[in-house]
Chain A
Amino acid sequence: MLLLLRKDLFILRYYFLLVLLYVYLFGFLLFNNTSFIFVAALSAIMLMTISANLDSKNKSMIVIASLPVSSKSIVQAKYAAVLLFALIGIFVSVLVYILNSLIVGREMAYASSYVPIILLIIACYASLYYPIYYWLGFRASQVVSIITVSIPLVFIVTLSSAITDILSFSAAVNAAFLAASCLLLIVSYRLSIFFLERKGLA
């Protein structure tokens, strides 16, 4: 599975520049109170979608499926990549905070309560995206991704206009967010495996 994760990072290496461009736009130029959530969640979603796009383009999934790994490991690696991309997203948002504070000189605070809501947004997206990807294929998942991306986007935009201070939730709410994220990913993983068992990878 680690080799599959490594493969994802390897094929994405040029596309990290695209993410940086996006981070510059939303993390610096169009900065607001929800930029940290925006940057972290959408960076991860972007990486997830590009990775799936690259696998589907030219049907590269056939090459992956012919490698000495089980089909289950391929699905497991996709879900492990969700967590990896989430970590990258969170890291990038912390970087945006540091650069904004130290270089741009904006006065702000990075709340740890951002992390659960970032994970929830990413989990919501992944939990819809991957089962549809394994069930109906890449094209259907792309259509769904437009819809599912727009949901967190609307949510974050609404949030940014509604709040003027640091977004903060109680510990119980944060725990609920984390639990919901885990549950969504587990159910989604089971569904993806179910479709894989019925249809195969390509």
Chain B
Amino acid sequence: MNDIIKLNNVSKQYKLFSIEPLSCTFKQGYITGLIGPNGAGKTTLIKMIMGITRPGTGEITIFGQSQSLQEAEIKQQIGFVSDECHYYEHLSIQSMKNIIAPFYKKWDDNAFSRLLDRFELSPKMKIRSLSKGMKMKLGLAFALSHHADLLIMDEPTAGLDPVFRRELLDLLAEIMLDERKSIVFSTHITTDLDRIADYIAFLHHGRLVFNESKEQIQERYVLVKGPLSLLEAPSVNAVFIGVRESLVGFEGLTDRGHEIAAIVGTSAQLSRPTLEDIMYFTARGGKSHAAAIT
């Protein structure tokens, strides 16, 4: 299994935020979801991978080539969709295409037209007249029209209606029928990743919490629901990554499933957490209290 992206000790320091030295790989032929709460560093990481922002330290390798040395060649093979529409608003879709297309050696006009038809976009439309969803579709059309082997998307589903979100996920699944293709996309809508992602990289406060296959993650973490009295034992408390207490009991996430099963026996309910549960409890950490029900 080849690595399509390799990050080696990559960090970035800002005044109020930093990406701590981070090493990981993203696999070729799979969809990797980059999750994390807002401000976790997902966009910064994607910008560093794309060469838009320079890492403070470390090296990024894409397709086995150094990102900093082979930037232009690497980007020929990448389709990029950013979180917002950054195209020139005063231009039409056709004019924007006339600017972008000549940069790509493998630009496919037919593919672009087909995608515009599929997304119900007209080349004559002015970019400023497009809705957020339409702009995202346009971004996808540009990213998918030069036969890129790697698709990198920053929050592509944010602000999209559920119908188009499903369509987008179907489209990504179609792309993945070609095993040479790989997709990396960031999101905080974890249900999208539950559907299609193979690997999940979780960033929190600029740190990589994990980067594993979805199955490994689901096997490792356990969601425990039980009465508050169980938390009185210090040995129980210690095994939780995060706990949420409410008037009717508690919910907690642990990566020590066997241990907790032995301690609580049948007095608590153990289940597989969703990615959202993992993100929530890891991000919150410690104990939190649900709003009281009145």
Contacts and interface: CB of A to CB of B under 8 A. Distances in A.
Interface of A: 3, 6-7, 10-11, 14, 54, 57-63, 65-71, 73, 196-202
A65 B75 CA distance: 10
Contact of B88 (A11, A65, A73): A11
B52 A10 contact: no
Contacts of B76: 68
A201 B71 CA distance: 13
Contact of B71 (A61, A71, A198): A71
Nearest to B82: A62
18 contacts: A10-B99, A11-B99, A60-B87, A60-B88, A65-B51, A66-B50, A66-B52, A66-B78, A67-B75, A67-B103, A68-B104, A69-B71, A69-B72, A70-B51, A71-B51, A71-B71, A196-B54, A198-B54
Interface in B235-288: none
Given A58-B87, A60-B88, A200-B53, A7 B99 contact: yes
B195 interface: no
Contacts, number: 81
Contacts of A6: 99, 102
B103 A11 contact: no
Given A14-B90, A60-B88, A66 B75 contact: yes
B80 interface: yes
B238 to A, nearest CB: 43
A202 B48 CA distance: 10
B85 interface: yes
A67 to B, nearest CB: 5
- Chain A interface main SS type: helix
Interface residues of B, number: 31
A65 B50 contact: yes
B52 A68 contact: no
Q: Which 7 A-B pairs have the closest CB atoms?
A: A200-B53, A68-B75, A66-B80, A200-B54, A65-B52, A68-B76, A70-B71
Contacts of B86: 58-63
Interface in B79-121: 80, 82, 84-91, 95, 98-100, 102-104
Nearest to A64: B86
Contacts of A11: 88, 90-91, 99
B47 interface: yes
B88 A201 contact: no
A69 B51 CA distance: 10
B41 to A, nearest CB: 15
B161 interface: no
Given A65-B52, A67-B103, A57 B47 contact: no
B73 interface: yes
Nearest to A201: B52
Given A7-B99, A63-B86, A196-B54, 20 more contacts: A6-B102, A10-B95, A11-B88, A11-B90, A11-B91, A14-B90, A54-B88, A54-B90, A60-B88, A61-B86, A62-B47, A66-B78, A68-B73, A68-B74, A69-B71, A71-B51, A71-B71, A197-B54, A201-B52, A202-B53
Contacts of B84: 58-59
Nearest to B142: A63
A61 B86 CA distance: 8
A132 B233 CA distance: 60
Given A3-B103, A58-B85, A10 B75 contact: no
Given A7-B99, A60-B87, A202 B72 contact: no
A42 B95 CA distance: 28
A70 B72 contact: yes
Given A58-B87, A60-B87, A66-B82, A199 B103 contact: no
